[in-house]
Amino acid sequence: MEYQELVGTRRSIRFFDPKRQVEQDKIQKILEAMLRASCAVNAHWLRAVAVKRDDIPKDQLEKLKTPVQAVVIELAPVHIYLYADLGVVNRVQGARLKELFNAGAVGSSHGWSPKFVDEIVYPQILKPMTQSPHYPVMAAFDCGVAACQGLLMAFEQGLGACLTAFVAPIINEIIKPPQDWMPLYALNVGYSLESREAGGQRPRPPFEEQYFLGRYGNPFPRDPKVVEELKASKMIQAPAPLPSRREELRKLARQLNLPE
């Protein structure tokens, strides 16, 4: 699938085939996509633990359910639990930045050298950064970039996916994460029972209310020609609800013995 169409086709899928298992290689490709994401200071805060739903004891699966995601985690055969490893910067110090230098990703023309990392970047920038109250937010932002790449990879492979919150104390009993891992979201993955359109593209706020040019209050001018180009590439698709959506929801509910 071409990238623009992939972005346009992604939906939060909430109806999975609960009996169809996801192949191990497809799970790996999702994780490989996460690993390739851009990341500040090459820290790679994101940690992920892939868990097969059927390996979660029934009593604990019930405790994981909340009113907004109970059906999703019950149907999705794979849950990928995402965490931010807040201890990684002080643990590796500047080693991963030196890897970037050795790989030619950063160079001396920008002031980089192993000595610069040891004497300036780690002690004066990175270590104080980890003591800032904003540090978890920055780490979580980078984790979100990686998670988004994994999310798109799921759809590129013909799967469906949905990000949800999770009850960390319960799942932590199962996967035993280190204490300095901050829980983020679960990426629920499986084969979708919904149509590819899944009712159409979800409602979004007006473009002009979200994005600005030069300063706040000056809306970024939305060129109608660009909009038409994105419609042609299938990044912008028919908006929800499509005429057939209500009937599709009723059929899915009956098929899965869910309330209509």
- The DSSP string of 159-197 is -EEEEE---HHHHHHHH---TTEEEEEEEEEE-B-S-SS
Q: In b/e form, how buried is each residue of 66-100, taking b as 16+ CB within 10 angstroms?
A: eeebebbbbbbbbbbbbbbbbebbeebbbebbbeb
Q: Where are the domains of the chain?
A: 8-193
- Average per-residue pLDDT for the chain: 97
Instruction: Give me Rg for the CA atoms of the chain.
Output: 21
End-to-end CA distance of the chain: 33
Give residue 217's pLDDT band: very low, low, confident or very high (50, 70, 90).
very high
Angle formed by the axes of helices 135-156 and 24-35, nearest 10°? 140
Which residue, among 46, 51, 54, 58, has the nearest Cα to 27 in the 3D structure? 51
What's the predicted TM-score (pTM) here?
Answer: 0.96
% the chain with pLDDT above 70: 100
Q: Are strands 160-164 and 181-190 parallel, antiparallel or unpaired?
A: antiparallel
Query: Residues 113-118: what's their mean pLDDT?
Result: 95
Expressed in percent and rounded to 5, the helix, strand and coil fractions of the chain are: 50, 15, 40
Identity at 37, one-letter amino acid code: A
Is residue 80 within 8 A of residue 190, CB to CB? The reply is no
Q: Look at residue 164 in the predicted model and tell me its pLDDT.
A: 97
Give residue 189's pLDDT band: very low, low, confident or very high (50, 70, 90).
very high
Give residue 184's pLDDT band: very low, low, confident or very high (50, 70, 90).
very high
Cα 211 to the center of its chain, rounded Å = 22
Output the CA–CA distances (angstroms, integers) from residue 46 to 164, 168, 183, 242, in the order listed.
16, 16, 10, 36
Q: Look at residue 12 in the predicted model and tell me its pLDDT.
A: 97
Q: Look at residue 27 in the predicted model and tell me its pLDDT.
A: 98
Is residue 16 within 8 A of residue 252, CB to CB? The reply is no
Q: Which residues, 6+ apart, have CB-to-CB distance to 239 below 8 Å?
A: 200, 201, 203
Query: Residues 176-204: what's their mean pLDDT?
Result: 97
CATH of 8-193, picked from 3.40.50.2300, 3.40.50.300, 1.10.10.60, 3.40.109.10, is 3.40.109.10
